[in-house]
Structure 1
Amino acid sequence: MSGSASFIAVDWGTTNRRIFRFDGGAVAHTEHDDRGAASVTDFAGEVAAIRERFGDLPMLLAGMVGSTVGWRVVPYVAALAGVDDLVAGLGWIDDRTAIVPGVSCSKNGRGDVMRGEEVQLLGAVAGWMVPPDALLAQPGTHCKWATMTGGRIAGFTTAMTGELFALLRGHSLLAGSLTADVTDSEAFREGLAEGARRDLAASLFGIRAASVLGLRDDADAASFASGVLIGADVAARMDDCAFEQVHILADAALGDLYAAAVAATGREPVIVDSHSAFARGILAIGDKAL
């Protein structure tokens, strides 16, 4: 594909998706909606509808569209994985539509997988947003921590940090106390310090005790709980971190919370726009595949 060629890319998550049209090596238009893979039954129809709106162009699909809840299961590429490996592992639906494969890793009997995040990781390097050797964090429902070596994904760890917070807020003993918005407040910073102790089960019950005894206002409980979870997640990753900088691929709000947690460990956080990273990564794949 030449740099002037046009194509469509979809970052297709479980509950949401973002659609990009590229012209001349740049994003010409983008849309975000809630038509995630879990809510779609007719993927061929969805792709046809996207082409009606964005143009009858080649398409690259990334994320959960290649999983068991998606259109077709595309096997993972094993780390060490770079752009060329993803291109070789593309799952072609037809001669103009392909699914990016995702990446897996295994070490000491522990396996891990990602779908969609690999495009951001490789795009951050390809777009000179991060150095080729780096530690990258991707906060979210399932936070990814990836080590990049020579611009390739060498290994990674997934933490269910965001999902745990959602479960606590929706279904736990603490739910009634966790109704306020999370902010980078004094309570959040206190939670970071508590989470760094990594006695997670006890720290979380302490939120209930603080509410009952009047030791903390319930208005601060959600921020404290988020701090505990993020603080534990970040502290665990810093034990064997060889980098002074930690690059965080995220939107501003969540990125700022993780940046505060990273800074509390003495490292320097650097926030990278995740949508720009995805765009650069899918362009790198498209240049070789389309």
Structure 2
Amino acid sequence: MANTFLAVDWGTTNRRVYRIENGRVTRTERDGRGVTAVTDFAAEVEGIRAAFGDLPMLLAGMVGANIGWRPAPYVAAPAGVGDLARSLLRIDDRTAIVPGVSTLAGGRPDVMRGEEVQLLGAVAAGLAPPDALLVQPGTHCKWARMEGGRLTGFTTAMTGELFALLRSHSLLAPQLSGAVGVTAAFLAGVEEARRRDLAASLFGIRAARMLGTRDDADAAAYASGLLIGSDVTARLADSPPDTVHILSGPELGDLYVAAIHANGHAASLIDSHAAFLAGIIAIESHCP
């Protein structure tokens, strides 16, 4: 790699390309050319170089999954920046894919791909301390424990995907078209989640409609509170009362802040784009 290089955060449905010179972004673009929209990855990479410069390129995210360009191996946790840099999947002498990270804790397997760059970057940039609990909300929410600046363990929860499925394919779908925000209904859902009876609590949304005890306009916020609250309650049950660092934009991040506060912990929002950049620059600097 080199002091000037291209970095691509290549997800399932979107990607963002960065031109980085001496640790600074000099150009960036986001588009909808995620891995599911691409059939010829070599041609896509040629196109990126034609637009951004004929430079070394470091790719991260789902481009290294079995639905991407080539499967990049997983590095077993605990893992640090150096471990990822030493395990890059080399496409050629100027193009490489960052590996994912795996864990097998308590007999339960778990994997991540792409999130590891943000997690390690957050610590590398000083956005989170080297010993911290971090969460990345989303379709598949990641909770990660950092120790000494290394990713030592993590848990994935299908929180966002469950909400999307409920909203589009469940018995509750007609009730869940309303807006979601940090409202009284959302906080009520977070509180209900403390009962740890998620399946029954979800059916309560249907029963509330039948009995007229909750307006359907609030049902989506309440359901979101139930799911996020269940996620947060499970993850924080055995955690010390330290600050949870949230890698997210404010729209989703604020929901997690509210749920974390309701469970007696402090929370801090971190810019996920800044974390990715710090992580990819750190990995590039450790490339052999």
TM above 0.5: yes
Contact 2:241 2:264 in 1 (8 A): no
Contact 1:135 1:243 in 2 (8 A): no
Partner of 1:167: 165
Contact 2:5 2:19 in 1 (8 A): yes
1:47-62 aligned at under 5 Å gives the runs 47-62=45-60
1:155-234 aligned at under 5 Å gives the runs 155-234=153-232
1:162-195 CA-to-partner distances (Å, cap 9, x unmatched) read 0000000010001111111211111001011011
Inter-CA distance 98–243: structure 2 relative to 1 (3 Å threshold):
farther
The AA in structure 1 aligned to 2:231 is D
1:76-106 CA-to-partner distances (Å, cap 9, x unmatched) read 0000100000011100001110000010001
The AA in structure 2 aligned to 1:172 is S
Gaps of 5+ in 1: none
Partner of 1:84: 82
1:146 paired to 2:165: no
Contact 2:58 2:98 in 1 (8 A): yes
The number of residues matched between the two structures is 288
The AA in structure 2 aligned to 1:77 is V
Partner of 1:272: 270
TM-score (norm 2): 0.98
The AA in structure 1 aligned to 2:77 is A
Shift of residue 243, structure 1, vs aligned partner: 4.3
Shift of residue 267, structure 1, vs aligned partner: 0.6
Report the Cα distance in structure 2 between the residues aligned to 1:257 and 1:29, rounded to whole angstroms: 31
Give the fraction of aligned pairs with identical amino acids, expressed as a percent.
65
Match of 2:14 among 8, 16, 38: 16
Shift of residue 15, structure 1, vs aligned partner: 1.5
SS at match of 2:286: helix
Gaps of 5+ in 2: none
The AA in structure 2 aligned to 1:209 is A
Runs of 4+ in structure 1 over 4 Å off: none
Partner of 2:117: 119
Shift of residue 288, structure 1, vs aligned partner: 1.9
Report the Cα distance in structure 2 between the residues aligned to 1:204 and 1:94, rounded to whole angstroms: 50
The AA in structure 2 aligned to 1:208 is R
Query: What is the CA RMSD across the aligned residues, in angstroms?
Result: 1.1
SS at match of 1:260: helix
